[in-house]
Amino acid sequence: MKSREQLHRPLNVLTALLLSLVAATFAASAGAQQTPPCTVKPASIPLGQTVRLRCDVPATSARLDAHPSARTVRLFKQASGDWQGLMPVAVEDSSGTYPIEFLAADGTKLASVNLTIRKTIFPTQNVSLAPQIEALHSTPDEMKTLTTFRDAVSDVKYWDDPLVAPLPGCVISPFGVKRLHNGKPTGEIHAGIDQRGAPGAPIRAVAAGVVKIVQPFNVLGGTVAIDHGQGLETMYLHMSKLNVVLGDHVKKGDVIGYVGSTGRANGPHLHWVVYVNGVPQNPQHWVTLKSCAAPKKKS
């Protein structure tokens, strides 16, 4: 005959198991209810697009280590009391899941949130250029002006959502395509988009900002570049006439110039670029535009 103790032992084990299960369930639900101090939006993104960073705690920078480039961007305190920043995913980044680490001013890690970068295929496109147009090259001074603009990140936020289209025309050539000039690979990607526009059509600032470049370039033609603040910049090329001066504060929708075909262009159009913390981003992620390509018929 079994003793009372022997009979009770399995019951005790079962009770202990049940109790630990209940405790674990409570712990899990408590953890799920606790909102993380920082978020990334979206959590999964194609190459060439921008991740919005947001923290309830004072995070002043965030770091993404998506091979081959580790990238650190600044976050800024907003009027709403939180901290926000923009993390660009470059066309040359590797797909995969990577943590974005949020850091305080003293380097303390405040949060780590995973970002999934999706595989993205960019097509190849050939551009026919007249020999004298193809031969145009940037001078070292021009390169320096562009790099200085691209690398600057200013503290004041002038821009707000949504951005407006600089021109109503459809998109002739999308962002990210691998470019060939007269059939020869250039090793360059199309770092902006080309929009159709009649010669002389007005071009508008996509957001408020400060004009940082107004000048003709060999390759880019008549150019205006605007710093919208806190890591967002735009640049408008090949213009026939420029309608702003250096240092101008423009509002969203202000006319900054007119469509032309100056520089390395094979006809009148607007090429424009979005830089997020110095990295070219897909403008069609920021502004809704139609493609000029006829929709494919179902056969």
Measured from each CB, the residue nearest to Zn ion is 271
Closest approach, Cβ 120 to Zn ion, in A, equals: 19
User: Whole-number minimum distance, CB 160 to Zn ion, in Å?
Assistant: 27
Whole-number Å distance between alpha carbons of 192 and 275: 9
CB neighbours of residue 145 within 10 Å: 18
User: In angstroms, how far is CA 102 from the centroid of its own chain?
Assistant: 18
Choice between 196 and 271, CB closer to Zn ion: 271
> Whole-angstrom Cα distance, residue 188 to residue 263?
17
Q: Output 104 or 189, the one with its CB closest to Zn ion.
A: 189
Q: Whose structure tokens read 């939180």?
A: 82
Which residue's CB is nearer to Zn ion, number 85 or number 176? 176
The nearer residue to Zn ion, 172 or 210, going by C-beta atoms, is 172
* DSSP structure class, residue 287: S
Closest approach, Cβ 194 to Zn ion, in A, equals 4
Query: Would you give the distance in Å from CA 176 to the centre of its chain?
Result: 13
Helix (H) or strand (E) holding 249: strand 249-250
**Are the C-beta atoms of 60 and 104 separated by less than 8 Å?**
yes
Site string for Zn ion, 228-267 (x = CB under 5 A): ----------------------------------------
Following CA atoms 187, 148, 55, 82 in sequence, which dihedral angle do they give, to the nearest 10 degrees?
A: -140
User: Taking CB under 5 A as the criterion, which residues in 189-218 touch Zn ion?
Assistant: 194
The stretch near Zn ion (CB under 5 A) out of 45-53, 127-135, 243-251, 270-278 is 270-278
Q: Which is nearer to Zn ion, 181 or 252 (CB)?
A: 181
Ramachandran region, residue 277 (left: φ > 0; alpha: ψ -120 to 50; beta: rest)? left
Considering the complex, what minimum distance in angstroms separates the CB of residue 262 from Zn ion? Answer: 13
Nearer residue to Zn ion within complex by CB, 98 or 236 = 236
271 binds Zn ion (CB under 5 A): yes
Instruction: State the nearest-atom distance from the C-beta of 172 to Zn ion, in Å.
Output: 8
**Residues of this chain that bind Zn ion (CB under 5 A):** 194, 271
